[in-house]
Amino acid sequence: MPQSNNPRVGIVMGSDSDWPKIKAVAAALDEFGVAYEVRVMSAHRTPAVVSEYAQTAIDRGLETIIAAAGGAAHLAGVVAAHTTLPVIGLPVPTPDLGGLDSLLSTVQMPGDVPVASMAVGMGGPRNAGLFAVQILATADAGLREKLVAFKQQLTKKIAAKDAKLRDSLS
């Protein structure tokens, strides 16, 4: 798992088996040149580690944290309870309930402990990375410019697909 010397984003997951399901987070951050760190920690099995990680995140230079977990996915909430940084919850698909359990555990936070929640599977991991970039871009003009270019490329890509489809139908 990639690590950076000056990470701005923390990516934490409840199990190393989650990495193949969420590595699109890192790919999105790499696209924008955003440094990150990756760790495995469990809200239930290593709660003291999670608490320490979240409490020291700002001092280590982190600006947001993405917390991915499956099943009883309380990692994002526990992280959010111990930091003032924005926390992005990423529910990981599970074999038993397809990730619905993860989604509900992540999105159903009590009042006063906000966690932004992404989708289970599909675009969830990529969107978590892109959302972290958007958070950072609120105070980083260089990232804002990269996001503008990214959105322009999306527009061109979809316009090309639209033209190709219309041509094939006529």
Residue-level length of the chain? 170
Q: Do 86 and 132 sit in the same domain of this protein? A: yes
Q: Do 153 and 116 sit in the same domain of this protein? A: no
Q: Do 80 and 146 sit in the same domain of this protein? A: no
Domain that holds residue 34: 9-139
d(CA 81, CA 121): 25
Number of domains present in the structure of the chain: 2
Q: What is the CA radius of gyration of the chain?
A: 17
d(CA 3, CA 103): 27
Q: Taking the model in full, what pTM does it have?
A: 0.94
Phi, psi of 157 (to 5 degrees): -60, -45
Query: What is the domain-level CATH number for residue 79?
Result: 3.40.50.1970
Q: Do 110 and 151 sit in the same domain of this protein? A: no
Residue 161 included in any domain? yes
Q: Do 81 and 146 sit in the same domain of this protein? A: no
pLDDT by 10s per residue, the chain, length 170: 455 679 999 999 999 999 999 999 999 999 999 999 999 999 999 999 999 999 999 999 999 999 999 999 999 999 999 999 999 999 999 998 999 999 999 999 999 999 999 999 889 999 999 999 999 999 999 999 999 999 999 999 999 999 999 999 99
